[in-house]
Amino acid sequence: MITEIRPYWKNYIGGKWVDGSEGGRLAVSNPATGQPICEVARGTARDIDTAVAAARACFNSRVLLDMPPHERGALMFRIADELDKAADEIAAVECYDNGKTLANGRGEIPLTQRYLRYYGGMADKLEGRQIPLGAGLLDYTIHAPYGVSAQIVPWNGPLPVGARSIACALVTGNTVVLKSPEDSPLSLFLFAEACERAGVPEGAVNIVCGLGAEAGTALAAHDDIDHIVFTGSVETGKSVLRAAAERVIPCVMELGGKSGGIVFPDADLGQVAASAAAGIFKHAGQICSAGSRLIVHRSVYDEVVSRLVAKAEALSVGPGIDDCDLGPLISARQLDRVEALCRAGVSEGAMLATGGTRVAGLDGYFMAPTVFTDVRPDMRIAQEEFFGPVVVVIPFDTTDEAIAIANGTDYGLAAGLYTRDLTLAHTVADRLVAGQVYVNQWWAGGVETPFGGMKRSGYGREKGQEALLGYVQTKNVGIKL
């Protein structure tokens, strides 16, 4: 296992590894200790300019566009293969800068490879249509790339989230400038190294780390980008959308969530407890589609709570590199926020069944796995995203009430339900307002299934075949023969 982190990392722009143009550096810390572990070049507006110019030059050169689609696909396969060489280092940096558990850190590599191979395999299968117009006319459509795709990635899953968007962009002939997250930038640098070794053309992929308020705003507002993929919070998403509106460019918006799972009385309660615990405690709840609300029929409420609490209290909490079950939150700020929202829950009258505070005696930003009971749907803890290991359990009496509670937030990323009754499952799935509905297993779905939000959780889809359509625009060609 790698324990030494390289002390300094450069940005990857135009096929070269470069310092910040203004000489600045950003410190990266380990959330499990609070201690700095390395520095990265600080990308500013000037570096974003250089990166966009490199991406534009590459796009205009048509090097990707003129490549037969199957060769663009082969390029994705080569990047995936190259990631094998970096697997140990990727797993380590995911623990050290991101706070992932070792198992999760290791899991990021095959997941990322699957995205690359999935979209690599689709590169030569995105076909246009021929539209009949009658004698003497020929009409067909082309999936044209947008051009330079600007991508902004959050800290919680930078490698797979970044790689899946880059893969969609490249196989459709776009070029990319990606602003990596300042809290956990390292795995995407290793991805850029894999791109370089795989022979990705210079300028096709540019990875710039910088602060959101500096490099992020500069990228979203840049005059020479054609497309934005943003994954992050609703508030930041709104500011990115305002910048995009100025230049009328399309966006894929993957934003936050407050996803609820409904537990009907006939559900397998052992399955419910295991699925609900995984759904909220994986990566300490720092997953956009975490199951942060559990909406439980009153007749099984106490039973579900006691099983869930037992699961929460059985988890080991500590540094991911030590293979604990639950790692830290990303920052002191985020830990303060989660704790403060827990206190708000208590003051609004919710009961803490377990957890509710940081873990005493550990140096990093560790939050105890937390279960709230006696929660009303209008409480702040039932409406606001924690982005931490906190689940609120809300009772219901009728199916209509359960659906109303599940749909009763601003978000619409994911929803779930647990029942053995297929008719009930289909009926409720139809009425839940969410981009994905999980039945009897939180996160049922994967690389192949479209993922994205409704309502304030955003729009556009990543993952699955559908994602590719977010990276192309239809061009119609009509010909008088």
Q: How far apart are alpha carbons 294 and 273 in whole angstroms?
A: 10
Q: How far is CA 476 from CA 129, 130, 170, 221, in A?
A: 9, 10, 22, 29
CA nearest to 304, candidates 331, 265, 338: 265
Closest to ligand NAD by CB, 232 vs 327, is: 232
Backbone angles phi, psi at 477, to 5 degrees: -120, 115
Helix, strand, or coil here: 40?
A: strand
Find the shortest distance in angstroms from Cβ 62 to ligand NAD. 29
Find the shortest distance in angstroms from Cβ 264 to ligand NAD. 27
Residue-by-residue DSSP string for 296-332 = EEGGGHHHHHHHHHHHHHT--BS-GGGT-SB---S-H
Closest to ligand NAD by CB, 157 vs 356, is: 157
Q: How far apart are alpha carbons 162 and 116 in whole angstroms?
A: 11
246 is catalytic: no
Q: How far apart are alpha carbons 256 and 238 in whole angstroms?
A: 12
Closest to ligand NAD by CB, 249 vs 402, is: 249
Q: How far apart are alpha carbons 260 and 432 in whole angstroms?
A: 10
Say how many C-beta atoms besides its own lie within 10 A of residue 304's C-beta.
22
* Contact footprint for ligand NAD (CB under 6 A): 152-157, 161, 179, 181-182, 212-213, 216-217, 220, 231-233, 236, 239-240, 254-257, 288, 385, 387, 413, 453
Closest to ligand NAD by CB, 130 vs 449, is: 449
Find the shortest distance in angstroms from Cβ 180 to ligand NAD. 7
Active-site position among 38, 251, 288, 342: 288
- Alpha helix positions (H), 34-100: 45-61, 69-85, 87-98
Find the shortest distance in angstroms from Cβ 387 to ligand NAD. 5
> Which amino acid is located at 439 in the chain?
V
Q: SS3 sequence, 375-443?
A: CCCCCHHHHCCCCCCEEEEEEECCHHHHHHHHCCCCEECEEEEECCCHHHHHHHHHHCCCCEEEECCCC
> Which amino acid is located at 353 in the chain?
A
288 is catalytic: yes
Active-site position among 214, 254, 339, 462: 254
Closest to ligand NAD by CB, 75 vs 382, is: 382
Q: How far apart are alpha carbons 167 and 187 in whole angstroms?
A: 16
Find the shortest distance in angstroms from Cβ 234 to ligand NAD. 7
Crossing angle, helix 186-198 and helix 69-85, to 10 degrees?
130
Find the shortest distance in angstroms from Cβ 270 to ligand NAD. 29
Find the shortest distance in angstroms from Cβ 24 to ligand NAD. 15
Closest to ligand NAD by CB, 158 vs 364, is: 158
Find the shortest distance in angstroms from Cβ 89 to ligand NAD. 22
For ligand NAD, which residue has the nearest CB? 212
Closest to ligand NAD by CB, 160 vs 318, is: 160
Looking at the DSSP bridge assignments, the partners of residue 36 are 29
Q: How far apart are alpha carbons 32 and 329 in whole angstroms?
A: 8
Find the shortest distance in angstroms from Cβ 107 to ligand NAD. 16
User: Token pair of 308, please?
Assistant: 């869930």
Closest to ligand NAD by CB, 115 vs 396, is: 115
Q: SS3 sequence, 272-296?
A: HHHHHHHHHHHHHHCCCCCEEEEEE
Q: How many helices (H) and strands (E) does the chain have?
A: 14, 22
Closest to ligand NAD by CB, 280 vs 353, is: 280
Residues classed as catalytic: 254, 288
